[in-house]
Structure 1
Amino acid sequence: MTGTVRASGFDFFSAGELPAPNLPAAEVAAIVREHWGLDVALEPLGSQQDQNFLATAGGTPVGVVKITNPAFTAAELDAQDHAASRIAAAAPQLRIATTTRAGDGTPRSVVAETGEGPLAIRLLEYLPGGTLTGGAHLSPAVVARIGELAGHASLALAGFEHPGLDRVLQWDLRHADRVVDLLAHYHPDEAKRAMVTDAAARAWADVQAVAADLPVQAVHLDLTDDNVVCTTERGIRMPDGMIDFGDVTASWAVSELAITISSVLHHAGAEPASVLPAVRAFHGLRPLSPVEVAALWPLVVLRGAVLVVSGEQQVQIDGGANAYAAAGVEREWRMFEQATSVPSEVMTGVIADALGVPLGGRAGAPKAHRIETSPGFDPARAARLDVSITSDDVDAGAWLDPELEDRLALRALDAGASVAWLERGTPRLSASRIRSAGSTATVPTGVDVWFAEAQHLQSVGDDARLVIETTDGATILDGTVPSRQRARIRLEMPDAPRVPHLVRPEYAPGWLALTEDPAAAMGLEDAGPGTPVRGYSTTGGADASELVARRERAFAEVQEHYYAAPPRIERGWREHLVGTDGRVYLDMVNNVTPLGHGHPGLAAAVAKQLRTLNTNSRFNYGAVVEFSERLAALAPDPLDTVFLVNSGSEATDLAIRVAMAATGRRDIVSLLEAYHGWTYASDAVSTSVADNPNALATRPDWVHPIDAPNPFRGVHRGADAARYAPEAADRIRGLAASGRPPAGFIAETFSGNAGGIPLPDGYLTEVYAAVREVGGLAIADEVQAGYGRLGNWFWGFEQQGVVPDVIAVAKAAGNGYPLGAVITTREIAARYRTQGYFFSSTGGSPASSVAGLTVLDAFRDERLQQNAAETGAYLKGRLEALAERHPLIGIVHGLGLYLGVEFVRDRATLEPATEETAAICDRLLALGVIMQPTGDHQNVLKVKPPLIVTRESADFFVDMLDRVLTEGW
């Protein structure tokens, strides 16, 4: 317990109950009129112990009227005003709610006679934009910003002294033990009350261990989600100011951050690791010392405990009149529940690791320890198993088999191993699961062993706790491990909480700091404390960020990557991608791999071909002929001749050059908002400003873009979309009449880059007729829409009921292997001779041709086109149902598994929700879904998953999107 503290100001422990003022709004309005000369309307605002109103005049906010609890002195109010002014001066980029004072000398505050006696009343500056009050999800960027605000407050208030800081508040965590003891009996639930008092006692002991070294200074002490104000820019709210200085006092400096991050914990999707961006941001401005790091999470637990008991007390003493306090009871319990969901020792280790702050003691180098085995085993014949993401043994989805580890171990024993074992610290893919909204526990804190002969294990020394468990978590008390059965072995610090055998990557640094490596203690190869042997970090974050840094040093910056902080992806299986920490993501955007990732048949076929022959297409071998024949057979008559290339860019580039050669012309008509590739010709006809902001200003004079036939947000909408085709035809005829007849017209047969938007019915029929009428060719860009993605049609142009003169295709053709094609007629292809010969080194190579053949076999054998039709229709139906409940969804575009979810801020104006779309994609990533925006406004989700995607995965995607749109992003 802390000793008795005498304060010149308010003393909570002397005051006892603290009922909030409850003046009628009319009485308050009269006081404002008398003292500030303002006629205002008042809207009640919440407060725990004061009374607040938003004052408006003529509908415009003019300030916040604060009726201070009569227990607080004038000196305390003056200290609050000075603290606000001090932060405003030190951080002018922030908005700070200072006390207003009119130019004619009207007072900052008054003491007015009221129906409840004399009360101090202030008119505070109104800061527009609202706060983060409520339970909506807070993005990492928002969490970081509130940590930054706390850092600015802490820096500004350092050295601030004032008599009004001499007060004893129930929110001052230096008195948390006394507050909990005093108020715990108010909690009506005996079990919850015990949880609070027990957790508070443990946390208080942790804080007291370092309390003497914790710096004390003036603090805001209530810089929570309720008290940070936001500016909304382009749909995204970001904190940039602070209000409510009523709790300003002197306390432990680190309390500022503890109170701030505790308020994050009740928000949707929040957990202890969610506060790390705030901790990093605070530390970046005002570095935390090792003792402050050690105290931080116990203080968060104490804050949660104080809020729970204080909230219950306030509800009872206000007799139900304080709606704000009543509404906070559930929220405060969630904060406490989250604060105690991970042991303080673990969170302290996680925070120290995130900041790079050494703690010493238990977080330092592990002690040498020994485990004796009897009768013993031969370490030279030990077989270390590998179920990490790089292991061949987890190929082809084997990691989803719950018997995989046992099967590998028994196979090793049968081959003569004395023991088979899985190391500590390296994430195990075999422990991960698909379609999970959160990470799964993949990081082992100990080792798993299978002995060829039964062994008795005994620890030597008393500096660690030897734990031996069966797979169901039962402890083997006598230390005897049966032969050929798995045992889980850990060395835990003797005074640490019990450690799970597998932990989530986010918390692995904290848990691993509480253990030693049993492998080294048993004489097996020492993998090091928490150091994975294959170079992957136990948490994916540091590993991924280091790789991004390396990428930026060696890889041209213009070659962008998805996400600002992308996970490191090193494995895929079907419609799933796997990070180095074992986290599995649902891939809903990767139309490069219609067969899915890690397809065994494709891998085997290409590997076999690479072992036998891989050269260029000028040699005579069978694969290039067979693939060309089968690809040509899939095209409608009269298209019968194939060019093979490496990519979609090369395919569209060659298609344009073929048209130019065949017609002897150079002009090309293309569509706006389109992307066709990065080579000279394919880039020339690309007009997407999302891919190139200067696209429209840098087109060569031989490219003639026409309106994108977008019936949702284009120049002609709805039924008027029928005007696009005749206008395009007129433009083509006009070019011919002006002496510049086009060589061809190129368009995606489905507006993929714009968001998976079907062309208006009959569009290509009329436009193709017009270009042929003037002697040009019709070029179909099928790079994205082709190969069955639309479900009911193999080629996108079939949906329009037309046949082009030239088809460009890639992406799906090789399932990620570099392969593209141009398909045309023998006559048109022959005219390309006027340009010389054509050659592609790897286009049509034996390996790429075999890849193409294997993909076509899989389309046939695995019914991918049918799945695109059936699962695509199901997915679109679910997305359309989602649009009925979420007005941000303007429309769901597309067919088959080529869909687009377009977000708008207003369904009438169709204002694009660009920033919201990016934020939604970031939140989906956190929930285990890979998704990216597309379209010129980057406000459309491009839903183009591998064609093997299942209904279960479609449901997971929609459920997570629903969650994001409900909880926030």
Structure 2
Amino acid sequence: MSQGSAGVRGFDFFGAGELPAPNLPADEVASIVRERWGIVAELSPLGSQQDQNFLARVDGEPVGVVKITNPAFTAVELAAQEQAADRIAARAPAVRIATTTTDATGTPRSIVAETSEGPLSIRIIEHLDGGTLTGGGYLSPATIARMGELAARTSLALADFGHDGLERVLQWDPRHADRVVELLAPHHPDPARRRQVTDAATAAWADLADVASALPLQAVHLDLTDDNVVCSTERGIRLPDGIIDFGDVTRSWAVAELAITITSLLHHAGAEPASVLAAIRAFHAVRPLSPEEVAAIWPIVVLRGAVLVVSGEHQVQLDGGENAYAASGIAREWRMFEQAVSVPTAVMSAVIADALDIPGGRVGPGEAGTPGGRVGPGEAGPVSRPGREASRYASPSAALLDDRVASSPPAALLDDQVATSAVRLDVSITSDDVDAGAWLDPDLEDRVALAALDAGASVAWLERGTPRLTASGTHSTTSSATIPTGVDVWFAEPQHLSAPDGYRLVIEAADGVTILDGHMLARTRHRIRLERPDGPKVPHLVRPEYAAGWLGLTGDPAMIMGLDTRPASPGAPRPAGSAERDAAALIARRDRAFAEVQEHYYDAPPRIERGWREHLVGTDGRVYLDMVNNVTPLGHGHPKLAAAVAKQLRTLNTNSRFNYGAVVEFSERLAELLPDPLDTVFLVNSGSEATDLALRVALAATGRRDVVSILEAYHGWTYGSDAVSTSIADNPNALATRPDWVHVLDAPNPFRGLHRGTDAARYAPEAARRIRELAASGRLPAAFIAETFSGNAGGIPLPDGYLAEVYAAVRETGGLAIADEVQAGYGRLGEWFWGFEQQGVVPDIVAVAKAAGNGYPLGAVITTRQIAARFRTQGYFFSSTGGSPASSVAGLAVLDAFRDEGLQRNAAEVGAHLKGRLQELATRHPLIGAVHGLGLYLGVEFVRDRETLEPASEETRAICDRLLALGIVMQPTGDHQNVLKTKPPLCIDRASADFFVDTLDRVLAEGW
């Protein structure tokens, strides 16, 4: 497979000997540039492994890159590089290409100059602005995908390119990787690392040998890496769209273009093998990969990492420590290699094939009639996919039971009689056994297993492939290993198992010690796997991202043991393949049946099917910290609320026209929380209905139709509540479509509003004057409505005294004051239960929802007996589920929890801690313009410039996406969508608050 040097027309690495990079002084190069091109430039050195590069600036503006080529490379090779660049520029016009051109006078920009180191080829290459991806910063999935797309477009453009200058032997060509590692590894100074590299390279080379003959050859850039792309910036988001440095253009395997690109991404912050799947998918979408190429990708990645490590160390020694670029890359190259070998090649090949939904990689034991075999060139072997395994492992000749056990009915493990008493346990996210946070108990699995045995089961077992919530944990920036590659079994009686043909039987005790003799004790956990004999050791639990690969290396012991592996119920979870694919499929179904205007968080959201306290759980067992759910102040899955509502639903659920106690008790207790004279309650289903009803009550009580609201506010989606909503984030046409009976005041935003800082005191008198002017013009207001805390604007407190002055003005004209407490109410501010208390006022009408039912449909309007009585002129009022027995019981359970669990106090204490930590972040990260809010009603506002306050809207969205990848659910808010909506459940503890801040700190430091 590795090519010799016979017939090579250009550079031959193996015949060239040492290859020190040129090292000309900058002033000498500047002199040559001035003399030969007439350019008086200031030169700054740029890194290169074997050449020498300078950025040339004139009057501070870049004019090109001066490249001094290593003298080992011929003129024919340089010509091939220039023509390759021209070819890509012509065939991929959307890609910016750094080409060698002529200046305005026609002077060539490529010459051979006499230098202090002899004749050297010097070129001036076009400078592309935007900067590269050099460095260790985080790369988003969109950026990684764009890298794959660039590689694909390059590959297509060069597919039929031929040139004599391509006939060269480079150390970077993976076709020669075995020889390069063999030649340079002895120079690595660390024996342990040297052995690790050579062993990995040897194994990868063997893997590659299976498919090498089927890999197409063509011209390749061969160095399309993070250092050699340039980016365009669109409103703060950088995406690669240009290619530089064609010095490694040669003829090699076409798939090497992709493999080399993705290898370069592995050293970036947060990168791991699964991270580069976005690039592979993008490449495949433009330039489809064959099964053989899929199988070759990861072996080439490993070999590329090995070559980088040994080459970097060799170049540093060769240049006597003077090549700062090579020296600085040692740690980076080692991280690439470590990531490349962190997952076995067989696993990654199967993961890649699974992601592309095409045959490729290796097959698992027993597949296609070739136990333990590999897919060779031209073979389209099946890809092992969890959930598609059917009965392929259930072979009569492969029984786990040895003859002695199988022939003795009393001792048989699972004969027909015993099999019927086997109990399959369930600790997935849909199981009742994991309710109320039980999944966090490390003894849960043993407890439910022993309970099953005590109830008469002969076997209790946990199935292979189904995500186990019990294996997950909170506050993790990576997914947990939740997918079992085998089964966990508890036997009522001692048992003995032996390996079937074609498999390696692995039995582990609960402490992880392998049981070599196959003898297992009663009432003790045993982990049982069927592994491929020639495969790597398989972990018993693996992360979801790699499950498709690991499961492909194992069989299902349950099938061979005769256990029933059919789904327990139609909705039961099945073995994990791709949680991402499952989530995408659900979104597609949602889009077909659910009105599109009902948006969802994130472009590619995970599928969430469970919650507990301040945590949300995906179907793969990944646990996310929920920092936005102000709908559930008690947290998710609250046991007492669930029990109370369930009991009521079993007993009675009707409407409030019937006479039952719950509606009365809830109304009484809610009214008691309000100051006099607010004593009369209407119950509805939601916050939108609450604000709509509040408006209707005000209009009926005053006999007027005009309403005053403030800008940047959201009050709901019904006709009335939408009419007074002015947030353009929720409705871009909110201002243009507002009816004539709604009049708006300036948003009293002291951070970015019309009046800022101490000048914010001007908002109240200006608002009062506007209300009086409306009244004087004959538009007497029925009501003034405002959030008591500007939540939709980002958790911004109203200026001191604002509501007092505005309420006085509207009452002076005969109108009523409506307090929208849908978000701020119910203790979220910490020190105050209601937002209006912070302003020292008492409204005439209060609208309440969200927190009132902890997610159960419940809202309320509270007003005075006199005002409520006037609404009788509108006829009867009725809400089908507002005030129903179940919703009333939910409301009572919420009030009980506030009383018993100290949620308002927790909001004050944890909220103060959280805000303090966020404010400290602002001292280190200029993107944070301000931290708004009180208690657990906070907003972190991002700006591109603290003077102009230009909103960092795109950055905020990207930061939310990165936070999701790191295990935190967060969303933007505000008219500019540049504020983190920090409104978690009120049960959140300090550990969760710290996890959020620490992770946000990481994102702001590493990038998004």
Q: TM-score, normalized by length of structure 2?
A: 0.95
Q: What is the CA RMSD across the aligned residues, in angstroms?
A: 1.2
Q: Is the 8 A contact 1:54 1:63 kept in 2?
A: yes
* CA–CA distance in structure 2, aligned partners of residues 23 and 115 of structure 1: 7
Match of 2:400 in 1: 371
The DSSP-based 3-state class of the residue aligned with 2:870 is helix
- Give the CA deviation at 1:409: 0.5
Q: Which residue of 1 aligns with 2:547?
A: 508
Task: Provide the aligned length of Structure 1 versus Structure 2.
Answer: 966
In structure 2, what residue type is equivalent to 1:618? R
- How many Å apart are 1:927 and its aligned residue? 0.6
Deviation at 1:657, TM superposition (A): 0.8
2:830 counterpart residue number:
791
Does structure 1 conserve the Cα–Cα contact (< 8 Å) formed by 2:465 and 2:575?
no
Deviation at 1:427, TM superposition (A): 0.2
Tell me how far apart the structure 2 counterparts of residues 819 and 268 of structure 1 sit (CA, whole Å).
44
Residue aligned with 1:699, SS: coil
CA-CA distance at 1:828 after TM superposition: 0.4
SS in 2 for 1:822: strand
Question: For 1:559-595, what per-residue CA distance to the aligned partner results, in whole angstroms no more than 9, with x for missing partners?
Answer: 0000000000000000000000000000010000000
8 A Cα contact 1:786 1:794, kept in partner: yes
Instruction: Report the Cα distance in structure 1 between the residues aligned to 2:732 and 2:50, rounded to whole angstroms.
Output: 54
TM-aligned CA distance change 1:147 to 1:110, over 3 Å = same
Aligned counterparts of 1:649 and 1:718: Cα–Cα separation in 2:
32
Q: C-alpha displacement at 1:79, in angstroms?
A: 0.4
Instruction: Within 5 Å, give how 1:244-259 maps onto structure 2.
Output: 244-259=245-260
Moved more, 308-317 or 36-45: 36-45
Question: What is the DSSP-based 3-state SS (H/G/I as helix, E as strand, rest coil) of the residue aligned with 1:14?
Answer: helix
Within 5 A, what are the aligned runs for 1:386-535?
386-461=426-501, 463-526=502-565, 534-535=573-574
Structure 1 range deviating more: 1-10 or 424-433: 1-10
- Who is 2:920 aligned against? 881
Q: Match of 2:5? A: 5
Matched, 1:772 2:814: no
- 2-structure distance, mates of 1:311, 1:698: 64
Counterpart Cα distance in 2 of 1:709 and 1:334 = 51
User: Could you tell me how far apart the structure 1 residues matched to 2:510 and 2:914 are?
Assistant: 39
Name the aligned partner's letter for residue 926 of structure 2.
P
In 2, are the aligned partners of 1:536 and 1:543 still within 8 Å (CA)?
Answer: no
- C-alpha change, 1:532 and 1:802, in structure 2 (3 Å) is closer
Partners of 1:278 and 1:957 lie apart in 2 by 29
Letter in 2 for 1:806: I
What is the one-letter code of the residue matched to 1:472? Answer: D
Please say if residues 443 and 508 of structure 1, whose CA atoms lie closer than 8 Å, have aligned partners that are also in contact: yes
Answering whether residue 872 of structure 2 is matched by residue 833 of structure 1, we say yes
Q: What is the CA–CA distance in structure 2 between the aligned matches of 1:358 and 1:221, rounded to whole Å?
A: 26
SS at match of 1:22: coil
Q: Of 614, 622, 625, which residue of structure 1 is paired with 2:664? A: 625
Secondary structure, aligned partner of 1:714: coil
Stretch moving more, 845-854 or 22-31: 22-31
Counterpart residue number, 1:920: 959
Q: Is the 8 A contact 1:538 1:581 kept in 2?
A: no
Is residue 297–residue 349 contact of structure 2 (8 Å, CA) maintained in 1?
yes
Deviations 1:897-925 (A, max 9, x none): 00000000111111100000000000000
Shift of 1:532: 10
Q: CA deviation at 1:494?
A: 1.1
Q: Determine which of 696, 703, 709 is the counterpart of 1:670.
A: 709
Q: Give how far 1:527 is off.
A: 5.1
Aligned partners of 2:904, 2:419: CA distance in 1, in Å?
A: 53
Once the two structures are overlaid, the 10-residue window that deviates more, 905-914 or 519-528, is 519-528
Name the counterpart of 2:420.
380
Unmatched 5+ residue regions in structure 1? none
Give 2:800's match in structure 1, choosing from 761, 771, 777: 761
1:655 to 683, 686, 694: 694
Using the alignment, how far apart are the partners of 1:35 and 1:236 within structure 2? 39
Q: Is the 8 A contact 1:517 1:526 kept in 2?
A: no
Equivalent residue of 1:202, what SS? helix
Q: 2:628 aligns with which of 579, 589, 614?
A: 589
Residue 136 of structure 1 corresponds to which residue in structure 2? Answer: 137
8 Å CA contact 1:196, 1:305 repeated in 2: yes
Q: Which residue of 1 aligns with 2:149?
A: 148
Amino acid corresponding to residue 420 of structure 1 in structure 2: A
Instruction: Measure how far apart 1:535 and its partner are.
Output: 4.3
2:377 aligned partner: none
Matching residue's letter, 1:370: A
Is 1:17 aligned to 2:46, yes or no? Answer: no
AA of the residue aligned to 1:305: A
Alignment of 1:848-927 (within 5 A): 848-927=887-966
771, 775, 784: which one aligns with 1:736: 775
Q: Please say if residues 424 and 527 of structure 1, whose CA atoms lie closer than 8 Å, have aligned partners that are also in contact.
A: no
Conservation of the 8 A alpha-carbon contact between 2:3 and 2:175: no
Superposed displacement of residue 526, structure 1 = 3.0
Q: How far is the alpha carbon of 1:3 from its aligned partner?
A: 4.9
- Residues in 2 aligned to 1:522 and 1:431: alpha-carbon distance in whole angstroms: 24
Deviates more, 1:273-282 or 1:99-108: 99-108
Secondary structure of the structure 2 residue equivalent to 1:668? strand
What per-residue deviation string (whole Å, max 9, x for no partner) do you get for residues 801-850 of structure 1? 00000000000000000000000000000111121111100000000000
Residue type matched to 1:2 in 2? S
How far does the alpha carbon of each residue in 1:626-649 deviate from its partner, in whole angstroms, 9 at most, with x for none?
Answer: 000000110110000000000000
| Partner-residue secondary structure (3-state), 1:743 | strand
Which residue of the partner structure matches residue 846 of structure 2?
807
CA deviation map 1:598-638 (0-9, x unaligned) = 00000000000000100010111110010000001101100
Q: Which amino acid aligns with 1:298?
A: P
Aligned residue for 1:266?
267
Shift of 1:538: 3.8
Output the amino acid matched with 1:248.
V
User: In structure 1, how many angstroms separate the alpha carbons of the residues matched to 2:566 and 2:139?
Assistant: 38
1:66 alignment partner in structure 2: 67
Aligned to 1:550: 589
Mapped to 2, the partners of 1:536 and 1:207 lie a distance apart of 30
Secondary structure in 1 matching 2:307:
helix
One-letter code aligned to 2:482? T
1:34 offset after TM fit, Å? 2.2
Amino acid paired to 1:287: P
Q: Residue 3 of structure 2 contacts residue 176 of structure 2 at CA under 8 Å; is this kept in 1? A: no
Identical positions, percent:
77
- Matched-pair contact (CA < 8 Å) for 2:149–2:279: yes
Question: 1:125 is aligned with what amino acid?
Answer: E
1:29 shift after superposition: 1.4
Name the residue aligned to 1:599: 638
Query: Which residue is equivalent to 2:369?
Result: none
Residue 509 of structure 1 aligns with an amino acid whose one-letter code is A
TM-score of the aligned structures, taking structure 1 as reference length:
0.99
Map of 1:695 onto structure 2: 734
Cα drift, residue 16 of structure 1: 1.7
Distance 1:586 1:89 in 2: 48
**1:4, CA displacement in angstroms?**
2.2
C-alpha contact 1:428 1:582 (8 A) present in aligned 2: yes
Q: Is the 8 A contact 2:363 2:553 kept in 1?
A: no
1:161 corresponding residue in structure 2: 162
* Superposed displacement of residue 723, structure 1: 0.3
Is residue 571 from structure 1 mapped to residue 610 from structure 2 by the alignment? yes
Deviations 1:14-34 (A, max 9, x none): 112111111111111122122
What residue is the counterpart of 1:117 in the other structure? 118
Kindly provide the amino acid, as one letter, of the partner of residue 324 in structure 1.
Y
Inter-partner Cα distance in structure 2 for 1:236 and 1:160: 34
Shift of 1:536: 6.5
Conserved 8 A contact 1:536-1:580: no
2:481 match: secondary structure: coil
Secondary structure of 1:745's match?
strand
Conserved in 1, the CA contact under 8 Å of 2:547 and 2:576?
no
Pair 1:705 & 2:706 matched: no
SS in 2 for 1:119: strand
Q: Deviation at 1:741?
A: 1.1
Amino acid at match of 2:110: S
